[in-house]
Structures are given as C-alpha cells and as structure tokens.
Amino acid sequence: MRRGIAVSPGVAVGTAYVIHEIYVNPDTKELADSEITAELASYEVARDKSASELRALERKVEAQVGHEEGAVFAVHQAILRDAAFTNKIRNWIVEERMNAPAALHRLLGEYTALFARTNDDYLKERLNDVRDVIIRLSSHLSDVLKPDQASIEGPLIVIADELLPSQAVALGDIDVHAIVTQAGSQTSHAAIIARSRGIPAVSGVKNILRKVKTGDTIVVDGRHGVVEINPKIESLTAFRKLEREFVDLKDQLASNRELSAETADNVPLQLEANINGVSDAEAAHNMGASGVGLYRTEYLYLTHRDVPDEEEQFSIYKEIIAASPDHSVTIRTLDIGGDKTVAYLGHDHNEANPFMGWRSIRLSFEHPDFFNTQIRAIIRAANEFPANAVRMMFPMVTTVEELRKLRAIIRKAHRTLADHGQECREMPIGMMVEVPAAAVTIDTMLELVDFVSIGSNDLVQYLMAADRDNPRVSHLCQPLAPAVLITLKMVIAACNRRSVPITLCGEMAGKPKAFILLLGMGLRKFSMSPAFVPSIKQLAQMISIAETEQILESVMKFKTTAQVNKYMTRQIERIAPKLSILDSD
Ligand code: PEP
Ligand code: MG
C-alpha cells in the first residue's frame, strides 16, 4: 500500500497502464548489420505516424479547446521536424547500432542534462515538449507504450510520473478509471483532468513507477490518497464493492442537473463552477452549475509564447462567457507566479519562496501595459452581455492600498476606452481573500469591493505555513484545521454583516465535510470543480440550515484537525452515507 495526495475522490479497481515505463526500463538492443536498414525504416514510420497524430491533435484541440492550446502541438511538430534531433537518432542507429527506442532514450537524457544547466523557465518548460515528442515516437516503436486497451485486461488505471499535456488530451479518447502520478499536486494536469472527468486520482506517490508494471492490479482510493498494488483478495473484494457504489452514485447524481440547488429547508444556494477554459465551461453547463465562480485566466497565458493582445483576449473572454451557464462568469485577472511561470513576464530567475514572492497582482502591477490590456479586454467582453452577468476579480490582494490602486487602474481603463469611443458599463469588482492579512483586515477591505471570494487553497497554505503542493507538509495544509475554520467563520460573518456578496472557490467547496461547515457559517454561494456540483447539490437537499449550524457549533469546540475530521466523517455517514465516497482527505 502506498500513500500520496488525494486529488480527486472516488474508488477504482483496475489494471495498471504505466506510461513512462520505457524510461524506467528501456527496450535496449544492439543491432546486427542486417537490422540497421529496417530500424531506420521503423524510425521513419514512427515519425510519420507521430506527425499525423500531432496534426490531428492540433486540429482537435484547436476546435474543442482553443487556438493557443492547439498551438502546443504545432510546437511538437516543429520538434519532430528538427534536423539536429533526427540526425542524432539516425547516426546512433547507424554508427552505434542502437535500436531506435534506446537512441530516443539517450537523446532525452542529453536534453535533460542540457536543460538542467539553464535558469530560463521558458526553456525548461520546452523540455516537457521534447519529452512529449520522444514518448510519442517511442510509443510507435515499443509495445510497452502502446495504449492498446485490447491487450490490457480490465479497466485502465494510468500510472505516470506526471501527465504531459498531450497525454492528458489523448486520455480523452480512452476509458480511464483512475490516475496515479509520482510527481504532481492538487493543481497538476493529472489532478485537473481527473476532477473534471470525475474519476479518482492520487498524486505525489513516491517511487510508484518502480513498484508498478503494466498489467498489475491496482486499487486507487481517491478519498484517502491510497494506492494498493496487487492487493489481497479480501481487500480487492471490498474495494470492488466501493467502486460499484461510486459509479452508481455518479450516474444517479448526474441526472440531477436540472434540480435547483437548495437545502432541505428550501434555502436557495448558488453552486458555481471553477473553469480554466471553454471545455470546462461546457462541463459546468452539463453538471448543472448555475454559473462560473472562478475563471482562471492564467491558462490562457501559460499556453502563449507572447502576451496575448487585447483583441485576442477580448474574443476568448467572450467565447468563455457565451459557453458558461447563464453567461454568469467571474473572471480572475492573471494569477501567475508561485508554481506557474510565464517567461515573457520576466520570470527568468528562481525565487527562494515563489509562493510568497512576485506573483499575481504583485507582478501585474509591475507590467502596467499588460495589466491594462487584460482589464480593458475583460470590461469590453462584459459589456457584450447582460449587466452584472460578468464580474472582475483580483487574486492575492493583501492590503487596502492595493485595492485603491486597482480601482484607479479600472477607472483609467474606462477612460481609455471612452477616449476610443467605447463607453462601457461599470461591472462588479471583487477580491479574493487568500492571504491571511486580507482576512484579518476584512472589514476595511469591504469598503472597496463589490464582492468577495475566499481562495481557500491559498488561504489554508498561508495560514498554516504549509505548501499546498508539498506532500511532506500535507498533514498541516488542512482546510478543516481549527485555525482555518475560525478564520473562515470570521470572514463570512463580516461579509454577511455588511451584505457584501461572498463565495468560496477553493477545493474545499466541493468536499462534503467542509461544505456542511461552510453552510453552517452562513455561506450560500460556492464555486467548485464542475464534477462536484451534482453531489454537493444532493447533499444540500439532505440537510437543513439549522442542522448545519448545530454541527458547526460542536465542531468549533474541537481543538485539533483530527477531532474535526473524525466528527465530520461520522456526520456525513449519518446524513448522506452514500456520499462519503465522494469526499477526500
Ligand atoms: C484558491 O487559492 O483557493 C484558488 C481558488 O485559487 P488557485 O487555486 O487558482 O490558487
Ligand atoms: Mg489562489
């Protein structure tokens, strides 16, 4: 049994399909003279197949996700065409009698060593692209990597170091029942995909690639971040039963999408979705979310080579708003930095404490051209839809001065637009409460904003001084810690007292235990991964506000996270026993 971070709930039993196995165990062979020509030909066939796959992927992703996301695969085609790349492989096959998979493996080693010497984050990112292309080529040369479902018995569980962008897209065509990664975190590709598809996932499982091989039987418990390899029959039977319950429950809940969100005593709630792009906006629709409570614009920049211009941003924002439920969208300005870097915004050095450093609005303030462009594009896009349907929100707000400065920047954007003959309406302006300083001074902050959204993912990590992506301190980075609950209760009460609309858009909004406590604190609006909306809607219908207030009262007396967890586990088992499978630690 191995432990990692629980990044997407549910239980699955299946057969391992190890994506990076070739790198742990490369298929090496010295060629005989007579085999060299055939090996060169196999490599050319693999190149052709890869090129046509990449062209198809580029078209598919461009149509379904967007032009910039599709462009990643154009970059991959350019790598594939690169003469230096291909000449090295050919030389090693001919002169060193290496088989093509081994040559590719060696080339990856060379690139890894080369990129390790650079401090340029943009270049470092490109290593992922090279690796992706090499894996794709290898998949056409080695049986190990072929996603040949027919040869693998039972439902597939993908095991990888971390999912690369193209693998993530390719998984869209395969019936995957769970994902386990060696690296990764709550915000990695694997975690995001698993949550949006509603399949269990565990990340940060140390050495999993050395312990598992394709064909092994795997149990994934996304509730507790546990993975079992070739478990005993008793364990297997118990998990198979849990898996059946999980699948039945998901099917049943998805049919609730038209139901209104309200508690057992008919208090109306707003359950919105967190999205990163157009396909998520469509998922939000399908899952019955009432709007988008958080559109993370950084994904737009992460896939760009240069600052996207105002027209491009304007049209993308319009597209997202049009695809979102009720055209109701909260657009968050760029939240880059921390673990996500964009070279063209000056991220060319490694900070000692990136999460506490130059990120989000701190960075945007120092790039006024870029920041003004984004704000103008948002204002113009909002103007195309009904009043107040679109809101603008700022991440990482820490001080009142920052809010004043933001207000001035928005006023300036309106003036510039008016000077160009474009009069735009005012729109609701909000802040995220994710820095403890903002939570502590919430009363002063509220004078300057129209709404608040608690970013509990960051608020918890900063409050507990425990990196949200570091498995070693994940026992501290807990949303049910008493310190967190006290802070959340205080912020929610302050907003309700002043009638400033408040929502919470961190991962805890979609977790049953936390959701009940937030209801008890007086929160009525939530934003979560689209896949969690149906289960939270169901849970809301099973509990009254009075009951949540009683539960909260008991919980606020506990002194430890363990006590809160234990008590809330019992409560969920009592209120909605079937839903506990959809909760995660
Ligand atoms: C948060 O911090 O809770 C949040 C929603 O923002 P992100 O996860 O993008 O940092
Ligand atoms: Mg955040």
Contacts of 153 (CB under 8 A, 6+ apart): 15
Q: How far is CA 266 from CA 82, 480, 545, 546, in A?
A: 62, 26, 9, 12
Could you tell me if the CB of 335 is within 6 A of ligand 1?
yes
Contact in structure between 5 and 187 (CB atoms under 8 Å): no
The yes-or-no answer on residue 177 being catalytic is no
Out of 427, 460, 492, a domain closes at 427
421 and 436, same structural domain? no
Please tell me the distance between residue 463's alpha carbon and the centre of ligand 2 in angstroms. Answer: 13
Token pair 């510039």: residue: 416
DSSP-derived pairing of the beta strands 429-433 and 525-528: unpaired
Out of 394, 427, 460, a domain closes at 427
Sign for the pseudo-dihedral over CA of 163, 169, 170, 175 = positive
In a domain, 331, yes or no: yes
306 and 180, same structural domain? no
The percent of residues above 70 in pLDDT, for the chain, comes to: 90
Lowest mean pLDDT among 1-5, 334-338, 391-395: 334-338
In a domain, 151, yes or no: yes
Q: Which atom of ligand 1 is nearest to the CA of 274?
A: 5
pLDDT at 354 over 50: yes
Rg of the chain over Cα atoms, rounded to whole angstroms, equals 25
Q: What is the CATH number of the domain that holds 218?
A: 3.50.30.10
For the chain, the straight-line distance linking the first and the last C-alpha, in angstroms and rounded, comes to: 17
Higher pLDDT, 193 or 245: 245
Out of 427, 443, 468, a domain closes at 427
418 and 484, same structural domain? no
Nearest residue by C-alpha to atom 3 in ligand 1:
455
- Per-residue pLDDT tens for 251-290? 888 788 888 899 999 999 999 999 988 878 988 998 899 9
User: C-alpha angle with apex 11: 6 to 13, nearest 5 degrees?
Assistant: 120
- Per-residue pLDDT tens for 444-500? 999 999 999 999 999 999 999 998 877 788 889 999 999 999 999 999 999 999 999
pLDDT at 145 over 50: no
Could you tell me if the CB of 479 is within 6 A of ligand 1?
no
Of 212, 211, 162, 228, residue with least CA distance to 3: 228
Of 213, 195, 198, residue with least CA distance to 159: 213
452 and 370, same structural domain? no
DSSP 340: B
In a domain, 261, yes or no: no
- Per-residue pLDDT tens for 300-322? 876 666 778 999 999 999 999 99
Residue numbers of the domain that contains 150: 2-22+145-251
User: DSSP string spanning 473-541?
Assistant: GTTTS-TTSHHHHHHHHHHHHHHHHTT--EEE-SGGGGSHHHHHHHHHTT--EEEE-GGGHHHHHHHHT
The yes-or-no answer on residue 189 being catalytic is yes
Residue 230: strand, helix, or coil: coil
Amino acid sitting at position 184: G
Q: Which atom of ligand 1 is nearest to the CA of 457?
A: 3
422 and 442, same structural domain? no
Stretch (H or E) spanning 228? strand 226-229
DSSP 32: P
pLDDT at 146 over 50: no
In a domain, 28, yes or no: no
Q: What is the 3-state secondary structure (H, E, C) of 347-374?
A: CCCCCCCHHHCCCHHHHHHCCHHHHHHH
What are the φ and ψ backbone dihedral angles of 230, each rounded to 5 degrees? 40, 65
Alpha-carbon span 22 to 560, nearest angstrom:
45
185 and 75, same structural domain? no
Please tell me the distance between residue 454's alpha carbon and the centre of ligand 1 in angstroms. Answer: 9
Alpha-carbon span 300 to 69, nearest angstrom:
8
Contact in structure between 370 and 323 (CB atoms under 8 Å): no
Mean per-residue pLDDT, 346-365: 81
Stretch (H or E) spanning 192? helix 189-197
In a domain, 264, yes or no: no
Q: Which atom of ligand 1 is nearest to the CA of 298?
A: 9
Residue 584: strand, helix, or coil: coil
* pLDDT at position 22: 47
Please tell me the distance between residue 74's alpha carbon and the centre of ligand 1 in angstroms. Answer: 30
18 and 162, same structural domain? yes
> What six digits make up the tokens of 125?
């990112």
* pLDDT at position 144: 42
Mean per-residue pLDDT, 71-85: 88
Token pair 């979560």: residue: 528
Buried b / exposed e along 33-68 (16+ C-beta atoms within 10 A): eeebeebbebbeebbeebbebbeebbeebbeebbeb
Flag whether the pTM goes above 0.85. no
> What total number of domains does the chain contain?
4
